[in-house]
Amino acid sequence: MAELDPTAAGQLIGEHLVCLPIESLPVAQCAGAVLRENVYAERDQPPFDRVSMDGIALASAAAAANKRRFRMQATQAAGEPPLTLRDGGHCIEIMTGAVLPVGCDCVVPVERIQIDNGTAEIESLSLATPWKNVHRRASDQRQGALLLATGTVLHAPEIAVAASAGMARLRVSGQPSIIVISTGSELVEPGDPIAPHQIRRSNAYAVAAALRERGFQRVAEDHVDDDAAELHERLGRHLRTHEVLVLSGGVSMGKFDLVPQALEALGVQCLFHGVAQRPGRPMWFGTTSEGRAVFALPGNPVSTLVCLSRYVLPALFAAMGVRGESSERIALATPLEWTPSLTGFMPVKVNHDDWGRPWATPCPTNGSGDFTALAHTDGFVELPVGPASLPKGFLTRLYRW
């Protein structure tokens, strides 16, 4: 099977991932979820002329006639029906968020008035201009306006918008059940006794952390030794109980790289094995007839995280209906030489210049096993097929961890 380039690999994954089902959840439980319906404005926003400062509401025409002293007619709090101003010689004490009283068209802040024996005096006539300190009705949105489109990831601002539109429940993408599986008899859990010839199990922790950071909640973990029978039994069980399998290790060409054979024996159709990239060249992807997706990532830690961010996370977001690009455009902060005749992925640190523009500073690793070099980096950039001499300012794509 011929190697694909990264773009073709990403497209093939997208073509074979099943769109996740829709569920209805209370709006309070939707943080991090992906919206699967449009949300429209229930009313004008604001729904009335809204007072934006504590102070007094009055008719600006009276101030235009050189009047600075007003009799306090009444007090109106937020949430109360609007009062009606008696005449231009009166004012109404008003609170932030209240409806502007009928007959008033401006608000003078409490800090700019003096109240004495039921009379309010404003410091300056210029404070009482039409619609001063008033958030006009429908100045933000009109009733029926589209506020949130399907495919939007719901963070705190979007949750507030949905609640303000009267949405007690929202239709969102269901969460996929994901299991992260590390393979390899050499791996030892953190905290367990370890021999000189063994290494710590770390890839699965990184993969699970990245998934959970992106809002995926149904994430389980497992570890399987390099044993063909055990691998077949455990992978078969996980294929029956999970929609997405993300494996780390066992996909190269070695004697104990047993994952591809085990998956194909279990009926998982291999859609590609190998991508023309460095690191992460041996990546494997396949699906079952029931729509299960299997991402088998190379076991070297840098390769694992690169393939996760470049392929797995964008594919999962697309299956949940997320709109928009999965990567950003960014310029290199320094010149860079890339010699392999493959697409390259280079870890970078993102910094901003004095004008706020982001720049990617390359942070080369000491090979795809050098995961310690990834600490304090922000992600990686995609480099064109080499050999290439890339100048400072070269524009490319950034994928964040």
Per the structure block, which two tokens stand in for 51? Answer: 């007072």
Alpha helices (H) in 30-155, listed in sequence order = 60-64
**Distance in angstroms (rounded) separating the CA atoms of residues 9 and 271:** 9
DSSP 8-state secondary structure symbol assigned to residue 81: P
Residue among 217, 186, 215 at smallest CA distance from 202: 186
Residue among 128, 122, 120 at smallest CA distance from 104: 128
Task: Tell whether omega for the bond before 335 is within 30 degrees of 0, i.e. cis.
Answer: no
Cβ pair 161, 51 in contact under 8 A: no
Beta bridge partners of 25: 170
Neighbours of 294 (CB within 10 A): 25
The per-residue pLDDT for 1 is 65
Low-confidence ranges of the chain (pLDDT < 70): 1, 256, 325-326
The per-residue pLDDT for 49 is 98
The number of angstroms, rounded, from the C-alpha of 215 to the middle of its chain's C-alpha atoms is 8
Radius of gyration of the chain (CA): 30
Structural domains of the chain in order of their starting residue, each with its CATH number: 6-20+175-319 (3.40.980.10), 32-43+146-173 (no CATH), 50-135 (2.170.190.11), 328-400 (2.40.340.10)
**Distance in angstroms (rounded) separating the CA atoms of residues 256 and 8:** 28
E strand spans, 311-392: 328-332, 336-338, 343-352, 358-362, 379-383, 388-390
**Distance in angstroms (rounded) separating the CA atoms of residues 205 and 219:** 11
H helix and E strand count, the chain: 8, 28
Cβ pair 204, 182 in contact under 8 A: yes
Cβ pair 174, 218 in contact under 8 A: no
**Distance in angstroms (rounded) separating the CA atoms of residues 108 and 121:** 10
